Amino acid sequence: MSEISATGSAAGEPARHPLSMETLVSLCASRGFIYPSSEIYSGIAGFWDYGPLGVELKNNLKAAWWQRVVRERDDVVGIDSAIVSHPRVWEASGHVEHFSDPMVDCRTCKRRFRADQISDEPCSVTKKKGSVQDCDLTEARDFNLMLQTHVGASVEASSEAYLRPETCQPIFTGFKRVREASRSKVPFGIAQIGKAFRNEITPRNFTFRSREFEQAEMEFFCHPSEREKWFESWREARMSFHRAIGFTEANVRFREHAQDELAHYARAAEDVEFLFPFGWQEIEGVHDRGDWDLTRHSEFSGKNLIVTDEETKERYTPMVIETSMGVDRTCLALLVNGYTEEEVQGEKRNVMRLTPELAPIKAAVLPLSKKLSEPARGLYQDLARRMNVFYDESGNIGRRYRRQDEVGTPFCLTWDFDSAEDGCVTIRERDSMSQERVSADSVLNYLRDRLEAAS
Ligand code: ATP
């Protein structure tokens, strides 16, 4: 049964492979993590679909975030708001006026580029055709990144609306309602996970820059005298989250925004950056947004969004500390972080080292022979009520282990010819490849303990 001795003479420290994006993109498509949306029509730029494993990974990441940011805290509540808001919301937030990138068009190749990225996005089409024709660029002009739609039957100016470019604005517009309904008192936070849309000029680097993506955002409302304290506290909390999901000092760091990078309303901002194959890039922002959003929505809606301190009777507009994580970018970072190639007994082994908490499949049930499928299926069905498990009876056992290693399954349970006699299954652990016999009756508890210990 074993591809390596039962004592688990594992390959020790995994050899880190200089991963190319091509390798990752192809693995993601072939194993059903992520593939182009509308693939049979050659895809649509900036849109991606998550397959059977991708949706589990993404849901596990969102659940881990929700658990730590909302459920484990008594000072944060969650919401789930609509994607389309009243168009005035985006005027108040400044998106209609300011949410744009400078863009240039090339008259030769007819492509459009972000003016600030023109040096790393040369007019390659033009050059491939023969570099006699140089780029002929227009002056830069602003291009609003919000995706527009029309609400209702008529297509006219009054029916125009936007798909939200960030999930936080409905948190601000719902601030009074949520605070009163949940009887929360400042300081407290409101969190949500949901889709956001940006008509990015040059979507690229796989899901990194997409036109439809998900954000996990938390807006924390505090007294003006406490904004530094809460900024620091959330900064630390977010880094410890990124460590808990498996990132290390070597591939995750903070980068402070320079004064000239700050949004016009922001007092301070730091990006959590991950080291992708294409360099250090932002996966999350921690921002001090001041009282900009509540003040603007108060002005534009005419509704009072001020709070009163019950003890001092002071009336003030709370300051906002925001944490804004890109779910898709973090999933991509998890796949980059997890991907490992190593050699075991002269053979290449690909392992996706995801933490058990995030692994799409927690355990695979593998009967050694198809003759053993009945009891193995029984075990699978028992476990399936409690966690995402997978059943596989096709191919030799070594190949089945490898398939699970490649997609990050932490445990494989093998039902063999002795199992009926001794009531035990062999549990093989993904990283060390060590194996142990465990009674089939206690497999569920064993897995729970191991999964819990690892999270
Ligand atoms: P960038 O400078 O890379 O465009 P941003 O600073 O505009 O990002 P924010 O507005 O702070 O990003 O959004 C918060 C988070 O949302 C980002 O850290 C990122 O993880 C995610 N995000 C933003 N834009 C995209 C996108 N086009 N595709 C995927 N995720 C995105």
**Average of per-residue pLDDT across 154-179:** 92
Ligand 1 centroid from CA 101, angstroms = 13
120 pLDDT more than 90 = no
Closest Cα to atom 1, ligand 1: which residue? 282
Q: Please write the tens of the pLDDT for every residue from 195-220.
A: 999 999 889 999 999 999 999 999 99
Q: Closest Cα partner for 327 from 43, 16, 59? A: 59
Q: Which stretch of 128-137, 285-294, 307-316, 342-351 has the lowest confidence by average pLDDT?
A: 128-137
Does any ligand 1 atom lie closer than 6 A to the CB of residue 284? yes
412 pLDDT more than 80 = yes
- What per-residue string of b and e applies to 237-250 under the rule 16 or more CB within 10 Å gives b? ebbebbeebbbeee
Grouping H, G, I as helix, E, B as strand and the rest as coil, residue 327 is: helix
CA 453 to chain centre: 23
Distance CA 107, CA 138 (A): 7
Q: How many residues are recorded in the chain?
A: 455
For the chain, give percent helix, strand, coil, nearest 5.
35, 30, 35
Distance CA 77, CA 189 (A): 6
Closest Cα to atom 22, ligand 1: which residue? 326
**Average of per-residue pLDDT across 232-257:** 97
Does any ligand 1 atom lie closer than 6 A to the CB of residue 323? no
Name which CATH class applies to 21-98+164-335. Answer: alpha beta
| E runs forming strands in 360-433 | 363-367, 389-391, 411-415, 424-429
C-alpha distance across the termini of the chain, in Å: 29
300 pLDDT more than 50 = yes
264 pLDDT more than 90 = no
Q: Closest Cα partner for 288 from 227, 223, 224, 222? A: 227
Index of the ligand 1 atom closest to the CA of residue 214: 30
111 pLDDT more than 90 = no
Share of the chain above pLDDT 90, in %: 78
Q: Answer with the residue of higher pLDDT: 244 or 101.
A: 244
Ligand 1 centroid from CA 326, angstroms = 6
Which pLDDT belongs to residue 345? 87
147 Rama sector, left if φ>0, alpha if ψ -120 to 50, beta otherwise: beta
Does any ligand 1 atom lie closer than 6 A to the CB of residue 46? no
Ligand 1 centroid from CA 265, angstroms = 17
Ligand 1 centroid from CA 399, angstroms = 39
Distance CA 251, CA 280 (A): 8
Ligand 1 centroid from CA 283, angstroms = 7
Which pLDDT belongs to residue 123? 61
Distance CA 126, CA 137 (A): 12
Q: Which stretch of 2-6, 204-208, 256-260, 420-424 has the lowest confidence by average pLDDT?
A: 2-6
Q: Answer with the residue of higher pLDDT: 98 or 14.
A: 98
231 pLDDT more than 50 = yes
Distance CA 261, CA 238 (A): 21
121 pLDDT more than 70 = no
Q: Answer with the residue of higher pLDDT: 38 or 454.
A: 38
Which pLDDT belongs to residue 4? 32
Which pLDDT belongs to residue 234? 98
Which pLDDT belongs to residue 9? 33
Does any ligand 1 atom lie closer than 6 A to the CB of residue 210? yes
- Contact (CB, 8 A) for 257 and 265: no
- Contact (CB, 8 A) for 271 and 329: no
Neighbours of 406 (CB within 10 A): 17
Closest Cα to atom 18, ligand 1: which residue? 284
Name which CATH class applies to 361-454. Answer: alpha beta
- Looking at the DSSP bridge assignments, the partners of residue 144 are 100
Helix (H) or strand (E) holding 246: none
275 pLDDT more than 50 = yes
**Average of per-residue pLDDT across 45-67:** 98
Task: Kindly list the domain boundaries of the chain, sorted by start residue.
Answer: 21-98+164-335, 361-454
Does any ligand 1 atom lie closer than 6 A to the CB of residue 198? yes
- What per-residue string of b and e applies to 292-318 under the rule 16 or more CB within 10 Å gives b? bbbbbbbeeeeeebebeeeeeeeeebb
418's CB contacts (< 8 A; 6+ apart) are: 424
Share of the chain above pLDDT 70, in %: 92
Index of the ligand 1 atom closest to the CA of residue 271: 18
For residue 140, give both structure tokens.
């830069």
Distance CA 451, CA 357 (A): 7
Q: Closest Cα partner for 163 from 214, 97, 237? A: 214
* Best mutation site among 116, 329, 332 for ligand 1 pocket (most ligand atoms within 8 Å of CB): 329
Distance CA 116, CA 334 (A): 28
Residue 93 is given by DSSP the state T
Does any ligand 1 atom lie closer than 6 A to the CB of residue 238? no
If pLDDT is split at 50, 70 and 90, which confidence band does 158 have?
confident
DSSP assignment of 151-192 equals -SS--SGGGEEEE-SSSSHHHHHTHHHHHHHHT--SSEEEEE
Q: Closest Cα partner for 334 from 246, 431, 206, 205? A: 246
Distance CA 65, CA 54 (A): 17
Ligand 1 centroid from CA 392, angstroms = 39
Q: Which stretch of 29-43, 101-115, 339-353 has the lowest confidence by average pLDDT?
A: 101-115
174 pLDDT more than 60 = yes
For residue 216, give both structure tokens.
């996990």
6 pLDDT more than 60 = no
Does any ligand 1 atom lie closer than 6 A to the CB of residue 167? no
